[in-house]
């Protein structure tokens, strides 16, 4: 199961008399949590893929876990995806073959491949 966390703060962090700031974290953003390496379990840290795209350790209290469950979730945001003609044609062909709309097919693919939060928490 994929685990996701939501950044709840991004204060300066002090460790060993050094101040650390985290430019690659944004409060309110959701990040993918990775497994800790051996020996890190009691560190009070979590490993997340931050805005740089790389997994780094951050203080655990900077994040809140997201409950990840299946089910129907009301959509509260929209986005527009622009596709080249070939990709659009392939999606249309897939949707026709599945006897679904392109939107329904894409929603199904997303639900199959990602464990997303049940109600946006």
19-50 residue pLDDT tens: 666 777 888 898 989 999 888 888 889 999 98
Q: What's the mean pLDDT when you consider all of the chain?
A: 80
pTM greater than the 0.75 cutoff? no
Within 10 Å of residue 46's Cβ, how many Cβ atoms? 21
The pLDDT value recorded for residue 60 is 92
Question: CATH 3.40.50.300: does it fit domain 3-65?
Answer: no
The pLDDT value recorded for residue 64 is 92
Please provide the size of the chain in residues. 121
* Residues forming beta bridges with residue 63, ordered by sequence position: 7
So where are the chain's domains?
3-65, 69-121
31 burial via Cβ count (<10 Å: 0-12, 13-18, 19+): buried
């Amino acid at each position: 199961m994929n685990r996701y966390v939501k950044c709840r703060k991004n204060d300066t962090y002090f460790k060993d008399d050094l101040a650390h700031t985290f430019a690659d974290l944004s409060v309110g953003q959701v990040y993918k949590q990775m497994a800790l390496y051996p020996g890190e379990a009691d560190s009070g840290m979590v490993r997340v893929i931050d805005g740089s795209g790389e997994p780094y350790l951050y203080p655990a209290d900077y994040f809140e876990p997201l409950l990840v469950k299946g089910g129907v979730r009301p959509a509260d945001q929209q986005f527009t995806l622009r596709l080249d003609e070939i990709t659009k044609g392939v999606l249309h062909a897939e949707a026709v073959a599945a006897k679904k709309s392109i939107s329904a097919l894409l929603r199904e693919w997303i639900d199959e491949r990602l464990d997303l939060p049940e109600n946006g928490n």
